Structure 1
Amino acid sequence: MDRVKKLVCILSSVFLASAVLAGCGSSSTKGSSTAKEKLKNVNISYVKSPLNVPSIVEKKENLFQKEFDKDGIKVTFPEITEGGKMTEAMAAGSLDFANAIGATSVILAASNGVPIRIIGMYSRAPKAFTIMSKDQNITKISDLKGKKVAGPKGTILHQLLLGALSKENMKINDVQFINMGIPQAVSALMAGDVDVALVAGASVPQAEAKGAHVITTGEGILDATIVIAARKDFLDKHKDIAKRYMKVHDESLKFMKDNPDETYRLASEETNISIDQVKQMYGWYDFNPKITDADMKDLEATQDFLKQNDMLKKTIDIKSIIYNLNK
């Protein structure tokens, strides 16, 4: 009888140990199923114009691939050139980083509930944004009264037009504004279908070569702030990836500083403008990625511009769309 009791105790201990082990195994399986899913893809918008040299260097020198290939993360570069299309892609979850997007587009999207956040500055280049005409009788902003002006609505160029008009005590109703993209606006200008075009970047020297002239640039009117943005849900899940993204961006800036001739060549080939024109335009840009107090003021001014021109119904706290990667 004692032997039977002893055997029962042994078997009970075995079953108990098995149950404990099974429980641990079950807990481990459950933990792995809820663990953060491994990132497989990163989608980064590619916009080469007006003269987005860091993006050109990053793509041509495979900087992002070199950083993320070691983790088996595939990098894709959808060429989405319109800010509104970028924010739509972010809202749909198909774009992770907007590498060079106008502050106007980010503020409009955030106001409409798109979970988008600014993680750094891309550029400031007021001289790269212009108002142009082919008509030799149109040489100053006051000459625009009653004229057909073509350009992209809700953008830095649109903001430039309104700011330039305001300095002359004019309003948008004083001109015939036609909403169209930069290439289309330049084509319409050359064809004589419009009197004035809002033109930026590489399209400026190209239009000048065809007989157009600059009436004004953005200098003294606005800072032409372009930012780097990302989806908030992506940032919350993959903050480490965003930090590495900005590290790569810094590497592109270092490449530009250390290899100016190669940088000019890459930009020239990618934008189809001469190296001399690239050198001329390159000096217009401030690519410092740090968000400064002046940048914050410019973002506030951009929101005011959107509100005053009935393009923004709901204002936001600008600080709320800045995502600090160091916290």
Structure 2
Amino acid sequence: MSSHGILSDLQLADLVDQGVVIPQEPLADGQVQPASLDLRLGRTAYRLRASFLPGAGRTIQSRLTSDLVMHTIDLEKGAVLETGCVYLVQLLEGLKLPADMTAAMNPKSSTGRIDVFTRVITDGGEAFDQAPAGYEGPLFAEVSPRTFSILARTGDRLGQVRFRRGGHHPTQEQTVSVDLEGFDNGVVGYRARRHSGLVDLAGIGAHPRERFWEPVTAPDGQLVLDPDEFYILASRESVTIPLNEAAEMAPIAPEIGEFRAHYAGFFDPGFGVSEAGGKGSRAVLEVRGRDVPFILEHGQPIARLVHEPMLEAPAIAYGQVASNYQAQGLKLSKFFR
């Protein structure tokens, strides 16, 4: 067992009894993952005029004034969160971290693949997606659909949290490049269709792919990214996360500037491991063009996969129970059929 690293599923399950995770409702089935805990939307969404960070010494609730909040939305019956808008939702999970534990948050894979921009803020927060050691208080999710409007409800899971003891100690970094040679019938990816229908977060496999996505090809191994268009691509490399490690996708070179990947990227122990049914698993890349058209070439580096140790191996590795993305190649979000 390592003296520092990411908490495993067994350790995560104990955090409620220890008072580290404070849920407003009992944890739901499947909420505990091999190396992360899914975070659930609460009962009310605030439509904001703009994103914000509360800043040192200030609570999120104190910032929710009439100058910032345009209106409130009841999520218990379900509500549409529209593209181009910024919403803030208190999560059903709060935290009371011990002095030697930090927390990091990230969108779930299914969230990133529908181009929903989401990040977590804390009371006193001066950075997104981080809860410092000793933090005690609520968690709020900022949610901003970029391409598809979504139908969301209390309990839906757009993000996840990892808990870490002993600081961040990467063990290795793996460069991830893009595959533009094609999968089925020369298709190398998908581009989101603008002005498509609504994505119901309860509708797993309920949305026809062709209504929301158009396939793209890359003649001569090149793909031109159009400005502000959203693409689903796949890595050239297979990805394997051993049982004693977890990983996270990170930018490879922010200074490139002409595109970015969404990086909805926690990779659980067991992802891509043959014994867990993951032989040949690729990383799916959520890519958005920026200011000018940009040529992406086959094999071009596009992200980094940063590995770090687990405190202990999980009881159940990724893929040993029902999983949407084990052994994936080029794969859209679980909401599409």
TM-score by length of 1: 0.25
RCO greater where, 1 or 2, for CA within 8 Å and sep 6 or more? 1
**Structure showing the higher helix proportion among its residues:** 1
TM-score by length of 2: 0.25
Q: Whose radius of gyration is greater, 1 or 2? A: 1
**Structure showing the higher strand proportion among its residues:** 2
